[in-house]
Amino acid sequence: MQAIDLVGLGDSLTWGYPFGPEASWLNLAAGETGLQVINRGISGETTGEMLARFDEDVVRPGPRAVTIMGGTNDAWAGLAAAEVESNIRAMIDKARRAGIEVIICLPPPLCRTGSDIPASFLEKMAGLLADYRDACRHLASSRGLELLDFYIPLLDQDTGWGKREFFVDDAHPSIKGYQAMAAVAVDLFRKLKC
């Protein structure tokens, strides 16, 4: 059996919703670099739920590295940044004890698509996600971890929201969006291959 290079842990944004794992940024970047990856994205999950399955889905397969990306569902649920940071810190600690390299991913921006989600709710979510990203940046910096920024490449600098062509709804990337995310990951994945 071939060794697993990387497990991608996350929610629907790792899984590849609504298209499926074959269209995910994880699969696209792995295909371009030849890494052996396992996609452990589960739609709708919070960082707390990811932490609960970390041993089974990440430690047990024994990859060389793990990408951790969460927060969008935490923001939907209105969870405080301190709770999200604590969950991610606990996942980092579990990975390090198992000798697994950790890569923290910053979730992409939300996009105003004109859906029936109230603007005030989207703005609250966006504010929470900004706090989560700050916490992730701090964790990566203080722990000496690699960071994949999926926020800036999908951001419309003029509006402060996601670029419309990169999204199918308020939170999920389009095919073009997943391709843009994969482009961010490819260079780091190539380094992992060495």
Percent of the chain with pLDDT over 90: 94
- What's the CA gap between 75 and 124, in Å, rounded? 8
Element (H, E) at 140: helix 119-143
Digit-coded pLDDT (tens) for 162-183: 999 999 999 999 999 999 999 9
Averaged pLDDT for residues 136-145: 97
The sign of the CA dihedral 67, 59, 13, 136 is negative
DSSP state of 24: S
**Is residue 26 pLDDT above 80, yes or no?**
yes
Query: In the structure, what pLDDT confidence band is assigned to residue 3 with cuts at 50, 70 and 90?
Result: confident
Is the CATH number of domain 6-193 3.40.50.620?
Answer: no
Q: Mind listing the pLDDT tens digit for each residue in 62-86?
A: 999 999 999 999 999 999 999 999 9
Say whether pLDDT at 193 is over 80: no
* For the chain, domain boundaries: 6-193
8-state DSSP, 167: B
47 pLDDT above the threshold of 80: yes
**Do residues 14 and 39 touch, judged by C-beta distance below 8 A?**
yes
Residue type, 169: D
Instruction: Provide CB contacts within 8 A for 104, sequence distance 6+.
Output: 67, 68, 69, 88, 92, 136, 139, 140, 145, 146, 147, 148
pLDDT for position 85: 97
User: How far is the C-alpha of 150 from the C-alpha of 123, rounded, in Å?
Assistant: 19
Say what the pLDDT of residue 177 is. 98
CA distance linking residue 181 with residue 47, whole number of Å: 20
Task: State residue 1's pLDDT score.
Answer: 54
Average pLDDT, the chain: 96
Instruction: For residue range 97-122, list pLDDT tens digits in order.
Output: 999 999 999 999 999 988 888 999 99
